[in-house]
Structure 1
């Protein structure tokens, strides 16, 4: 045997698994297709890396089995993540909605924590390794990979596949885990881009495009969930935190409801303006909350240049409905190129929730994004990856 385990994929899950394996005295070889470990970590949070979320629970995760992630989060908590990084000089600073960023440091420092610990434990990280074949014989896995044009073989009794999902192909994302799972008869929950911008086409396309660059705090909802965060208008549709969040719960053909003024009642604001100065235009009320560009664009739907005192009852009802129940029917999404994560993946019924070991193939473990567990925007998916890495390492 060349090691106690082979880990394929040096992302968040694979790196944590290698480190935690070192803590329990296990030797691993980490194979990474890219030219450096932690590629997706390095671009997260705009290069600052929101490495966990203070409010992470199983409630912020999407899966066909919503209970599956509970065991991993019991074994490795948010406090464990915070303590782990603090031990290596990373102090967390809370940003929006519980997101924790490394204070005075960035994503490179997060990756450096893992690579330096791997060096200390003599865990081998091999970059530029393209895995070609995996065979299991006599209680061991033999992995064939190509590096620098040469074919090489390594062997270990345990194998971890933590190759991530399909988003951001330019960062080296592949369907390796899904292909391997299908080849061995494992069930796959249908995959799709998640935490992804949504596109608008057709007759409304120009209306959205003219607002490109405008950001607005809104409440978005559908039949499943609601989020209150900013949306961002773009020349091809909608983006921003609220859109990315609800995209994970959106399906093609469905409508999204947008409250353009959460926490306020536009009817009450108009009534107050009428009492103060009935000659004021509706646009004057709007301009307190929206950019002039957005107010002007609303003229397509509403009488924004009409004095508030002159607004009829049907007009007042239309204003209320438009502001608090603005309806959007996206044409699609921006695909895996722009998605932050993948929804769906290897069916959790194929894995032990306590160990993440494949039920049909003893000694094989799947971890991270390739599993049908998808977190919200804001550090949740990192918490899942760290927890997976820890859980799997205890079994190696």
Structure 2
């Protein structure tokens, strides 16, 4: 059944999406005495929050600055991050019973290790403020009408229209389809003549195919602390070998900066020099076999895999300068040409989205369409791994609420 009339509502704004940005926006609007309705495609709020950090939710990062974000305009996120800081996030969650504990590299998790606790803060506050959330509600189309907007939505088998004076698009990005991810935010932007920056999976594992794939497959499960880099970025964290390629924090990080057809490089002993280490070992034990020596630096399995490219059965004393140079190159500049990524369903976020040139950096309102706001992942602002994307979501939700 389709209704032709647009229902009038008492809400100050309608928010599309009950993810991190949408929930924060609704709550902050409530603090300001503004009434909002959230339209959520899923049957629950915060679906992506609930699976983040292995269900523990790395909800911010102590080191957040604009430098940890990718965008065609690297300075765009500065205003929002200044209006809602990491300290604001920490204080907000502490006020509602969530104490943070720091893990590696500034990552902050709830002491309870339960992402559900983070979602409950928002849903409880929405209830307290009388902010409504309509679940199982899919937005079909958004059009301007009478100084506001007409939203066409499907609820079960019924399609209806509802009026909104202002609309917040916080519908997320393309990852992860099983959680209801769509390109809705970008379709809405395009429908109003706004530009959209090309998207790609980010914070995503990389695949290896062809003749090199069996080498990676036999190392599946091996994790090594490494430095991974290309000509745009560099990260020091663990890498993980898998039967289809490479994963682990450092790989996820560099994937946001990788483009198809390019190489990445891996330093398997960051902060050390294999030639210097072998020179020192030669003095003590020049008869030690190279394989045995490498087995002391890495796992035996990984050392044996490296032996495919090295004279592993030679002793250290007999290694030639050319062999040492080749070893140094292999250990410190291990060259990889990924075939691709594992795609949006294995990506944590995406790069690209609604072009930041189309939005006010101070309010996140469309420059072309008054009363239309975009926040969170659907905007061309992508954070590093480790809580940065949540900080952007909280900040953008807060900023939008101030301007509804």
TM interval, shorter chain, is over 0.9
**d(CA) in 2 for partners of 1:359, 1:135:** 16
Q: Is the 8 A contact 1:90 1:105 kept in 2?
A: no
Match of 1:34 in 2: 42
Q: CA deviation at 1:134?
A: 1.9
Tell me which residue corresponds to 1:168.
176
SS of 2:154's partner is strand
How many residues align? The count is: 396
Q: Where do 1:1-396 residues align within 5 Å? A: 1-396=9-404
TM-score (norm 1): 0.99
TM-score between the two structures when normalised by the length of structure 2: 0.97
- CA-to-aligned-CA distance 1:178-214 (integer Å, 9 cap, x gap): 1111122111111000001001111111111110110
Give structure 2 stretches of 5+ with no counterpart.
1-8
Q: Secondary structure at the match of 1:378?
A: coil
Query: Which is further off, 16-25 or 129-138?
Result: 129-138
Q: How far apart, CA to CA, are the structure 2 residues paired with 1:160 and 1:336?
A: 24
Q: CA deviation at 1:143?
A: 1.4
The alpha carbon displacement at 1:105 in A equals: 4.0
In structure 1, C-alpha distance between the alignment counterparts of 2:161 and 2:131, rounded to whole Å? 17
The structural deviation recorded for 1:310 is 1.0
- Give, in whole Å, the separation in 2 of the partners of 1:17 and 1:185: 25
1: CA distance between counterparts of 2:113 and 2:34? 30
Q: Distance in 1 between matches of 2:54 and 2:275?
A: 39
Q: Does the aligned pair in 2 maintain the 1:219–1:260 contact within 8 Å?
A: yes
Unaligned runs of 5+ in 1: none
Query: 1: distance between equivalents of 2:148 and 2:306?
Result: 65
